[in-house]
Chains A and B, each alone.
Chain A
Amino acid sequence: MKENKETRAPESQKGHTIEKPKSSEGIGSMVSIEINGNKYSVPLGTTILEACKQNQIHIPTLCHHDDLCIAGVCRVCLVEVEGMRTLQASCAYPITHSLKIHTTSPQVRRARRHVIDLLLSEHYGECYACVRNNNCELQSLAKEYGVDQFTFGHVSAPLFEEDKSSYSVVRDMNKCVLCKRCVRTCIDLQEVGVLESIYRGHETRIGTFLDKPLADVICINCGQCINRCPTGALKANDPSDEIWLAIDDPTKHVVIQTAPSPRAAIGEEFDLGPGHSLTGQMNTALRRIGFDKVFDTNFTADLTIMEEGTELIIRLYKALVEGDKQIALPQFTSCSPGWVKYIEHFYPEYLDHVSSAKSPQQMFGALIKTWYSKKEGIDPANIVSVALMPCAAKKYECNRPEMVDSGYKDVDYGLTTRELAQMIKESGIYLPEMGKSHFDDPFGDASGAGLIFGATGGVMEAALRTIIELVTGVKVENVFENMNIVPVRGFEGIRYAELPIEKVGPVPEILKPLVPNWDWLKGATLKVAIAHGTANAKKIMEDIKAGGKFSECHFIEFMACPGGCLGGGGQPIPTSQEIRAKRAEAIYNEDASLPLRKSHENKHVLELYNDFLTDGPCGHISHKLLHTHYTPRGKYIA
């Protein structure tokens, strides 16, 4: 499983990447080097840093991040290369010939210590008053190098005001070390390009276009920059104080829905390695903290499949059978609020392709303050609805002015995995030791199809499990082993799959009002695609614009974050390809272990249609509560 690293920003904005030969086989493709007197052989083009890593030689780094292109600016990873007058940044030095390298010579140690001392001299703040206390790379470096005083002084007052304008990302430039990871994340990994170095010399800092507040630029709120910030300079906009207030207020009924990805990652905040699902433990902890009800967002993920899948069928029917030229195809998914903001800014002319179905979070919000409140006899005004999400953009999404279809703010707070872990710790709970418990009714447990929404390709797989069965009448497990639709899984940045529909079955009850039969799909080939990370989304969009193969697709899943939601901007820090792969594994394993793995088989969802959304998927009631519209924003900045 490899994420597609070829998806890159405009050549000009790339920073400098080192090209490595495609294969390490063949004569002359290995180079012998000496590190600290020991001999090693490494593939041509390997950086000194990688060569050391491969051979268990530790080199401290700060601006380097495995997900990002090379910067070589912090100068922490300096090493000595024999015969060179200056020390070399090991992260940026490709080995192309035989070298003798020293990684801990006196001048190397002194230079690194100087660099750390200099960074600390300008880093405002005290470690114990920082979200990143104990998980800060600058702090670790200071410890690693035994810093016990501020050799070159220390700033005693903040120089910059925090930028709290965004619902999602808070920037505190007093803690910035100018490693430019956020810049590279935004420009290179996400191809959004909101952040850049501004001013010069000692005044240099990371800023936005015209130094505007983050809320006023084309930030998509994905929070990927937060995940890669080595210090506390970037953090999510934390609503936990408000949530605590609500919990402590006896007149409030505080409910929380939890998305699939946090449960697969929250263990990392409790020093478990990545890849442990703590679903049941988390439910127990949430009740201990004082949430009145704990719901599973997977429930509305199942509902999303019903709504979005139905919408797709309607679009296909109108386009293919009725010949309606106005119908926008391919249909794009809408669950990722980072992606939605991205397309609103960058491709507003394609907004009619985006499914009008709300994201699972917002569907849940609308149901809690309508159906649930009525059913339970609770005044919606007294319900505080919290959404536990792996995501920074969900904070923005729940604050969109249109998200008030229940008559109230549908979701009051978006809480990230990191923030919940903090609340759990504050409650004196060690999560891995908690007993397990289930989600609360009336939403109950949901399907594995909803669960895999957390991984890139998951929405597509969930949709296909349902569409295949509803259209062909054949059980998915008879088409794909163990129900695992492998062609849409994995971490390739862009994936494409074709599914021929050889035979069709009877139209199920729930769809009868919409289509008379499936004959029109017989012999057709369903074409789908998946992209994660907006840089990849951009590639697909450009291909569609140019009338390429993706324009022939029927349905495309877009996730703003690399890896999908499990790599979201609210997930535990650090992040890397390996960590994301482990989280995905945890999610897929949990799905495989569930009795219910198809959205359309979720009884509670069907009950909801019987009970409340009585005119069925994409009917009037569902349209009022579960669907939305988008805002063409463009790149114009007022």
Chain B
Amino acid sequence: MENKVKREGAVIFSEYNRGDAVKKAISIGREDVLFELKESKLRGRGGAGFPTSTKWMLTAAAKSDKKYVICNADEGEPGTFKDRVLLLEYPELVFDGMVVGGYAIGAKEGIVYLRGEYEYMLKSLQDYLEEMRKDNLLGKDILGKKGFDFDIIIRLGSGAYVCGEETALIESLEGHRGEARNRPPFPVNTGLNGKPTTVNNVETFASVAHIVTKGGSWYSQHGTDKSTGSKLFSVSGDCKKPGVYELPWGTTINELLKIVEADNTKAVQVGGASGLCISKSQFDRQLGYEDLGTGGSIMVFNESRNMLHVLKNFMEFFVEESCGQCTPCRIGNVKLLEGVEMIEKGEYTFNYINKLKELGETMRISSKCGLGQSSPNPFISILENFKEEIFNNGKGGK
């Protein structure tokens, strides 16, 4: 996987010194931190795009003796590697963002849930936390602010994709099988150990650090009206320059393809395995919550790719990665995969494929968590957007 930052934009990679956000937060106070966040219109960078200020305000408002700030560094979505870059190269942004989070919501404990495969960076991250402790950016009475105690520990994940889902992540932290919980209650009220908890993506915390330092309106100048700021995209697949790009929201797929130097592109999967796959005719679509919202995974496929194989890979992934607790996801994904295999063999009827698409629609609204709710996305979008290739090149339905 490509580890290089290929483009540094004006927001995430703008100037920042360790501790800036924490100092600023303490000087403006808790309420103003939340206010700036609201001004910024920041939405969660983990994929779902939930407004971060709302989440924090709810956690701040929840009454409890204990609260938690959790940084979701599970980065399990196929094709994403931007969180790794942030953690490796800009840990100050992520950790300062967490400290600010602790300050804003009134938590004393922060936990980084680090993807198991990232164990190699554990030591350096821990060393970094140790430095922060020395600088009193962690620990007791942070930067002299009486009663502002906060510390961060790092916990390693166990390699399950679903553990990136926030409630499954919490289950996993509690030492259980990684299975999504029922919602409500939401983690903001009943999270880790039953306590109010805010779970945010690595990039969300990094954005917070800038927002608090430079102001919410500074942040919302960038991007579009509903998608403020910028976004890190992890670009992989058929292009000359795969890697991490900071681009303003609103960038079109065409523009992105040019930047990453992709030729002969046939398809772009936006949002990882659970995202949507779009074809050439849609490449003028914009990245952003108005149109193509995403956690940042962009996979480029050129004309040489067989879209049915692409789809099959995605479906195999979900069949394995479903936590297996709820019916639509556990069995539904198998049925969708079987459908793909039927098409592969030319042994299908359009009637049955349509039934599977309906099943996909059901999975989207009836699965317990985001995994099953989004796993039909590639099935539905690839069969729709590449129907010529898939159904005409094959032997056709029976």
Bound CA span A96–B183, Å = 12
Cβ of A73 within 8 Å of any chain B Cβ, yes or no, is yes
Q: Residue-by-residue, is A199-220 near B (CB-CB < 8 Å gives 1, otherwise 0)? A: 1111110000000000000000
A202 and B362 contacting across the interface, CB-CB below 8 Å = no
A43 at the A/B interface (Cβ < 8 Å)?
no
Q: Which residues of B contact A178 (CB under 8 A)?
A: 324-325, 327, 330
Closest to A199 in B: B324
Which residue of B is nearest A107, CB measured?
Answer: B365
Known pairs A16-B181, A94-B184, A111-B362; A201 contacts B321 (CB<8 A) = yes
Cα A429 to Cα B184 with chains together (Å)? 51
Minimum CB–CB distance from A276 to chain B (whole Å) comes to: 37
A590 CB to nearest B CB, Å:
43
B contact residues around A89 at 8 Å (CB) = 182, 368
Q: Which residue of A lies closest to B372 (CB)?
A: A75
Q: Which of B234-242, B250-258, B331-339 contacts the other chain?
A: B331-339
1/0 per residue A74-106: CB within 8 Å of B? 111010000001110100111010000000000
Cβ of B326 within 8 Å of any chain A Cβ, yes or no, is yes
Tell me which residues across on chain A come within 8 A of B19, comparing CB atoms.
none
Encode contact with B along A107-132: 1 for CB under 8 Å, 0 otherwise: 10011001100110110000000000
Which residues from B are CB-within-8-Å of A197? 177, 179, 324-325
Q: Are B373 and A86 in contact (CB under 8 A)?
A: yes
* Residues of chain A at interface, number, CB under 8 A: 44
Distance, CA A115 to CA B322, complexed state (A): 16
Q: Smallest distance from the beta carbon of B183 to chain A beta carbons, Å?
A: 9
Q: Is the interface of B mostly helix, strand, loop or mixed?
A: helix
- Name the contact of B331 in the complex, choosing from A18, A92, A202 (C-beta under 8 A): A202
Assign chain B's interface to a size class: 35 or more
Check B160 against A12 for contact (C-beta < 8 Å).
Answer: no
Does chain B have a CB within 8 A of A244? no
> In whole angstroms, how far apart are the Cα atoms of A73 and B326 in the complex?
4
Evaluate contact between A75 and B324: CB separation under 8 angstroms: no
Which chain B residues in 173-194 approach chain A with CB under 8 Å?
174-177, 179, 181-182, 184-185, 193-194
Judge whether A200 and B365 touch: CB under 8 Å: no
For the complex, is A70 an interface residue (Cβ under 8 Å from B)?
A: yes
Q: Which of A18, A107, A121, A152 has the most CB of B within 10 A?
A: A152
Q: A11 at the A/B interface (Cβ < 8 Å)?
A: yes
- Cross-chain contact B330 with A202 (CB below 8 angstroms): yes
Chain B residues with CB below 8 A from A111, complex form = 328, 362, 365-366
Q: How far is the CB of B332 from chain A (nearest CB, A)?
A: 6
Kindly state whether residue B358 has any CB partner on chain A within 8 Å.
yes
Q: Which residues of B contact A54 (CB under 8 A)?
A: none
A177 and B358 alpha carbons, distance in the complex (Å) = 22
Tell me the residues in window 52-73 of chain A with beta carbons closer than 8 Å to chain B beta carbons.
Answer: 70-73
Please tell me which one of the listed residues A12, A94, A151, A203 contacts residue B174 in the complex, with CB atoms under 8 A apart: A12
Does B297 count as interface, using CB distance less than 8 angstroms?
no
10 smallest CB-CB distances across A and B, nearest first, come from A204-B324, A92-B182, A118-B331, A72-B182, A114-B362, A111-B366, A201-B320, A73-B325, A201-B322, A86-B365
Q: Give 19 pairs: A residue, B residue, CB < 8 Å, sorted on A.
A: A70-B182, A72-B182, A72-B326, A74-B327, A76-B327, A114-B332, A115-B366, A118-B327, A118-B331, A121-B331, A151-B355, A152-B359, A197-B325, A199-B324, A200-B320, A201-B318, A202-B319, A202-B322, A204-B330
For the A-B complex with A72-B368, A73-B326, A78-B366 known, give 19 more contacts whose Cβ atoms are closer than 8 Å.
Answer: A13-B176, A72-B326, A75-B328, A75-B366, A86-B373, A87-B365, A87-B366, A92-B182, A107-B365, A111-B328, A111-B362, A118-B332, A118-B335, A152-B359, A178-B324, A197-B179, A200-B320, A201-B320, A204-B325
